[in-house]
């Protein structure tokens, strides 16, 4: 028994004659009659009463008709569901994101993605760059949004945008700076809050300029750096996508034009060709909207 035989059977029941059913199925009558006989032989019971050219169902046929409709309906449903997976309208987006992109940039991407694919389950893994790369290797996630520097190694990478670093903190830490910018020498006078991954890079940039940074706090991520800076503990150093959309009046954000401290946001995965459709669609969206 196969799905084709079930379709033949249901069509014959609904058309009430083999001739009409054969016409609807775009086939000749003899092969349809043969398929119906084969179905009855396989089931071991008569499905039809034949009254001239008209057919009616036996009790067994009536029961089988109900079951056949259920099976055909399930097959159609499965086909539709598989189409949803292929189109990205079902399944799960397993994505990792570092804290320094989870300000407005990443959440805007997620919002745009969810609006287009509301039936996809979104599973976001929050960790630092190296932890996310390890999760990619272990196939715990399918793709990640991270920032340079990182070892590209065996990963497929697409660089989305380059961002400068900015200083954010209470106005009391800044003198003047009405042009919205701050120099490295001016920043050397401020108590700095940095997250651990950038501590050595920041220290090296200051050292190259003959300066010594006053680091008052080191922590593990951009979100903590921002939170502490907004509490007035010191001046946080953060890249653009980690900054808040708006701040209270006592908070200033000043750009620091130091190329060595700029960073690129990147999409990474093991292989774009092997990405599940939900992740492939997110990759496409982020790539098109990241600039």
CATH number for the domain running over 165-261 = 3.40.190.10
User: Can you give the pTM of this predicted structure?
Assistant: 0.68
Q: Tens digits of per-residue pLDDT, 107-158?
A: 999 999 999 989 899 999 998 888 999 999 888 999 999 999 888 778 999 9
DSSP 171: G
Q: Tens digits of per-residue pLDDT, 269-286?
A: 999 998 988 999 999 999
> Could you tell me the pLDDT band of residue 266, with boundaries at 50, 70 and 90?
very high
Alpha carbon distance 114, 192 (integer Å):
37
Q: Right CATH number for 3-87 from 1.10.287.110, 1.10.10.10, 3.20.20.70, 1.10.1740.10?
A: 1.10.10.10
Residue 191 pLDDT exceeds 70: yes
Q: Right CATH number for 92-161+264-289 from 3.40.50.2300, 3.40.190.10, 3.90.1170.50, 1.10.10.60?
A: 3.40.190.10
């Amino acid at each position: 028994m196969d799905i084709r035989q079930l379709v033949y059977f249901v069509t014959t029941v609904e058309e009430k004659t083999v001739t009409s059913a054969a016409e609807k199925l775009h086939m000749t009558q003899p092969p349809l009659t043969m398929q119906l006989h084969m179905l009855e032989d396989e089931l071991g019971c008569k499905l039809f009463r034949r009254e001239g050219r008209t057919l009616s169902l036996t009790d067994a046929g009536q029961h089988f008709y109900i079951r056949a409709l259920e099976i055909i309906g399930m097959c159609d449903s499965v086909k539709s569901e598989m189409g949803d997976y292929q189109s990205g309208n079902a399944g799960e987006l397993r994505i990792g994101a570092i804290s320094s992109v989870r300000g407005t940039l990443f959440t805007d991407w997620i919002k745009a993605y969810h609006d287009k694919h509301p039936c996809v389950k979104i599973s976001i893994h929050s960790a630092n760059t190296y932890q996310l790369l390890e999760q990619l290797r272990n196939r715990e996630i399918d793709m990640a949004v991270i920032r340079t520097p990182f070892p590209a190694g065996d990963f497929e990478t697409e660089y989305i945008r380059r961002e400068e670093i900015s200083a954010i903190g209470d106005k009391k830490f800044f003198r003047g700076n009405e042009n919205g910018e701050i120099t490295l020498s001016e920043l050397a006078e401020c108590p700095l809050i940095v997250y651990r991954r950038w501590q050595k890079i920041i220290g090296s940039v200051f050292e190259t300029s003959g300066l010594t940074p006053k680091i008052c706090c080191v922590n593990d991520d951009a979100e903590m750096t921002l939170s502490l800076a907004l509490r007035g503990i010191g001046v946080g150093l953060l890249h653009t996508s980690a900054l808040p959309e708006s701040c209270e009046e006592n908070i200033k954000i000043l750009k620091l034009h130091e190329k060595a401290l700029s960073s690129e946001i990147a999409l990474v995965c093991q292989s774009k060709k092997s990405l599940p459709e939900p992740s492939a669609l997110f990759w496409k969206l982020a790539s098109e909207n990241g600039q």
